[in-house]
Amino acid sequence: GIQVEQSPPDLILQEGANSTLRCNFSDSVNNLQWFHQNPWGQLINLFYIPSGTKQNGRLSATTVATERYSLLYISSSQTTDSGVYFCAAAPHSGGYQKVTFGIGTKLQVIP
Amino acid sequence: DTAVSQTPKYLVTQMGNDKSIKCEQNLGHDTMYWYKQDSKKFLKIMFSYNNKELIINETVPNRFSPKSPDKAHLNLHINSLELGDSAVYFCASSQGRGQMGNTEAFFGQGTRLTVV
Domain locations along chain B: 4-115
Do A98 and B106 lie within an 8 Å CB cutoff? no
B42 Cβ partners below 8 Å, 6+ apart? A101, A103, A104
How far apart are the C-alpha atoms of B62 and B25, rounded to whole Å?
25
pLDDT band for position B97 (cuts 50, 70, 90): low
Do B107 and A104 lie within an 8 Å CB cutoff? no
pLDDT of residue A79: 96
How far apart are the C-alpha atoms of A66 and A54, rounded to whole Å?
17
Contact residues on chain A for B43, CB-CB shorter than 8 A: 86, 88, 101
Do B45 and A45 lie within an 8 Å CB cutoff? no
pLDDT of residue A44: 93
Residue B6: closest C-alpha in chain A: A42
Do B50 and A96 lie within an 8 Å CB cutoff? yes
- Which amino acid type is present at position B116? V
Segment A15-50, tens digit of pLDDT: 999 999 999 999 888 889 999 999 899 999 999 999
Mutation test of the interface with chain A: which of B23, B97, B102, choosing the one with the most A Cβ atoms within 10 A?
A: B102
Do A42 and B88 lie within an 8 Å CB cutoff? no
User: What topology is assigned to B4-115 in CATH?
Assistant: Immunoglobulin-like (2.60.40)
Domain locations along chain A: 4-94+104-108
Segment B52-76, tens digit of pLDDT: 888 888 878 999 999 999 999 999 9
Contact residues on chain A for B104, CB-CB shorter than 8 A: 31, 33, 45, 48
Mean pLDDT, residues B97-110 taken together: 72
Mean pLDDT, residues B14-35 taken together: 95
- Assign domain A4-94+104-108 to a CATH class: mainly beta
